[in-house]
Amino acid sequence: GLTIGEPTSLVVDSLFEISTIGGITEVATTTHYGMSERLDWVHILLINRAAGSRTEVMIHDIPESIDLHASIGTAISLDMTVPEAYRRDGTAVGAIMLQQMQWMESAWWPATVFLTDVPGWVNLTTEPSLNFDITQNIAFQGSATLEFKASDEGMSLYIEAFGRAINKRGDTILLAQGMSDRMSIKPTSSFGLAIRSGGEGVERLYIRMSNVPATPPVVLEEMEALGENLQRATIHIREIVGPYSVIEIDDVRGGRIIASARVSAQVEGTDFDLRGVLLDAQITGGVPMGTTLGVNGIASDLSLLNMVPGLDGSTKHVMVIEPFSSAILTLLATALGGD
C-alpha cells in the first residue's frame, strides 16, 4: 500500500509477550503504530516450534495511527483505538483477523477471530467461564463468555474456536452481523446463559456449540441458535427428576429466534440418538400466546406479536419434553441411523 516515489514516515513501538499456560500458548501484544499514509494490508506471522503454536494477524485498510492491545490463547481479547482524525464515517479499520493454532495429538487446533467494518474504538473479550458448581446444572458451566463494546454500531464479528485450542469444553462458532455498540453473552449467577445487546439489537446472530459433554452419559453433539434483531434472552435448564429437565427461555426481545439441538448418549455400549418432542408454551407481555410443537428445537417469530398494541413486552418460552413420543422417536432415530 506504499506510494511509489513518495517518502514515508513510520513509527512502530511494539511489545510481544509469549507464555504457556496449561499447555496453551498465549501471545499478547501492546502496539502503537503510526504512518504518514494509510496501508492496504499488513500480515504478521509468529511461529513457535518449541511450543507447537502458530499465531497469525492480518489487517486490511489500516489508518495512519492505531493503539492496539491484543491477546490470544485461553482467552481472546482486543482493545483498539484510532484517533477521530483518521476515521472514515465512524469506521476506522476495514477488517482484522486473529488466529492461533495449537499443535496437539498430531493435529492443528485453531481459534480464529474476524472483525469487519471496525469502528473507531473497540473492546472485545471472550474467555471460558470459571464459575463452577457441581450441585447445579452444568449445561452452561465453563462455556465461553463474550463482552463487546464499541464507539459505533454496524460491525460484524466471526469467532470459531475448537475447545482444545483454548482449553475449554466443546467447540464454538459465533457469527454476529450488524452489531450494536455493545453486546454480552455470559452465564448468569444462577448458571443459565444471558444474551444482551444494546440499541435495536443484533441484526443477525448465530451461535453453534458442538461436542460438549453434558450430564453423563449425555453429550451435546450440536446446538444451534439463530436470532434476528435479537436484543436479549436468558436461557435456563431446570432439572426436575434425574436428567429430565424443563427449558426456560425468558426475557426474549427481538424479531425472531430459532434454536435446535442434537444430543446423544451411550448406555451399556449402545449409542442412542436422543430426540426430544418439545411442547413450547409462549407468553408475551403476561398474556399466553399459544403452544407449539417441535422436535429437538423451536422457532418463534416475535416481530408479529410485538406489532399488536399492548404486546410489546418480552416473551417467555417454557419447553417441556413429552417423554412417550420422544422415546419412540429416539428408538427410531437410533435404529435408522439418526437421519
Across the chain, which has 339 residues, the per-10-residue mean pLDDT values are 81 90 87 91 90 91 93 91 89 93 90 94 89 80 86 93 81 91 90 87 87 69 81 82 74 76 73 70 69 64 53 70 65 62
Q: Which residue's C-alpha cell is 403476561?
A: 286
Q: What was the pLDDT predicted at 155?
A: 94
Q: Give tens-digit pLDDT for 44-84.
A: 999 988 888 999 999 999 999 999 999 998 889 999 999 99
Is 194 exposed, middle or buried (CB count within 10 Å of its CB: 0-12, 13-18, 19+)?
buried
Q: Which residues contact 336 (CB under 8 A, 6 or more apart)?
A: none
Which alpha helices (H) appear in the chain, and where do they start and end?
Answer: 163-166, 302-306, 323-336
- Note the pLDDT tens digit of each residue in 191-250: 888 989 888 888 998 988 887 766 666 777 777 888 888 888 888 887 776 666 778 888
The 3-state DSSP composition of the chain as helix, strand, coil percent (nearest 5) reads 10, 65, 30
Average pLDDT, the chain: 82
Can you give the pLDDT at residue 303? 47
Amino acid at 54: R
Cα 59 to the chain's mean position, in Å? 21
